[in-house]
Amino acid sequence: MEEEKDWDRLKVQKTKFWDFLDPEERTEAGRSFSGVLGWLSRNESRGRRINSNKRATC
Protein backbone atom coordinates (compact mmCIF):
# COMPACT_ATOMS: atom_id res chain seq x y z
CA MET A 1 0.00 0.00 0.00
CA GLU A 2 2.96 2.33 0.61
CA GLU A 3 4.03 2.09 -3.05
CA GLU A 4 0.63 3.33 -4.19
CA LYS A 5 1.21 6.62 -2.37
CA ASP A 6 4.61 7.18 -4.01
CA TRP A 7 3.31 7.68 -7.55
CA ASP A 8 3.83 11.45 -7.34
CA ARG A 9 7.42 11.30 -6.07
CA LEU A 10 10.65 11.02 -7.96
CA LYS A 11 12.49 7.79 -7.19
CA VAL A 12 16.24 7.86 -7.74
CA GLN A 13 18.27 4.67 -7.72
CA LYS A 14 21.93 3.94 -8.22
CA THR A 15 22.62 2.08 -11.44
CA LYS A 16 24.80 -0.99 -11.62
CA PHE A 17 28.48 -0.42 -12.30
CA TRP A 18 30.00 -2.94 -14.69
CA ASP A 19 33.66 -3.87 -14.73
CA PHE A 20 34.45 -4.10 -18.45
CA LEU A 21 37.64 -6.05 -17.73
CA ASP A 22 35.56 -8.94 -16.37
CA PRO A 23 34.19 -10.97 -19.32
CA GLU A 24 30.95 -11.96 -17.55
CA GLU A 25 30.12 -8.40 -16.53
CA ARG A 26 31.06 -7.12 -19.98
CA THR A 27 28.61 -9.60 -21.50
CA GLU A 28 25.88 -8.54 -19.07
CA ALA A 29 26.51 -4.88 -19.88
CA GLY A 30 26.30 -5.60 -23.61
CA ARG A 31 22.99 -7.42 -23.22
CA SER A 32 21.56 -4.60 -21.13
CA PHE A 33 22.74 -1.98 -23.60
CA SER A 34 21.32 -3.88 -26.57
CA GLY A 35 18.01 -4.19 -24.72
CA VAL A 36 17.86 -0.42 -24.23
CA LEU A 37 18.75 0.15 -27.90
CA GLY A 38 16.04 -2.29 -28.94
CA TRP A 39 13.48 -0.46 -26.84
CA LEU A 40 14.56 2.94 -28.18
CA SER A 41 14.39 1.77 -31.80
CA ARG A 42 11.01 0.02 -31.51
CA ASN A 43 8.50 0.72 -34.25
CA GLU A 44 5.73 2.89 -32.87
CA SER A 45 4.62 4.25 -36.23
CA ARG A 46 2.31 1.30 -36.91
CA GLY A 47 -0.54 2.71 -34.79
CA ARG A 48 0.09 6.25 -35.95
CA ARG A 49 0.06 5.21 -39.60
CA ILE A 50 -3.36 3.62 -39.21
CA ASN A 51 -4.73 6.75 -37.54
CA SER A 52 -3.22 9.05 -40.17
CA ASN A 53 -5.04 7.17 -42.97
CA LYS A 54 -8.42 8.05 -41.52
CA ARG A 55 -10.09 10.94 -43.31
CA ALA A 56 -12.39 13.38 -41.67
CA THR A 57 -15.92 13.41 -43.01
CA CYS A 58 -18.11 16.50 -42.87
Q: DSSP for 1-58?
A: -HHHHGGGS----PPPPP-TTSHHHHHHHHHHHHHHHHHHT---HHHHHHHHT-----
Kindly report the average pLDDT of the chain as a whole number.
77
Tens of pLDDT, residues 2-27: 556 777 787 777 778 889 999 999 99
- Alpha carbon 35 to chain centroid, angstroms: 8
Report whether pLDDT(39) > 60: yes
Q: Is the dihedral of CA 43, 44, 47, 51 positive or negative?
A: negative
46 or 15, greater pLDDT: 15
30 or 47, greater pLDDT: 30
HSE-up of residue 33 (Cα within 13 Å, Cβ side):
9
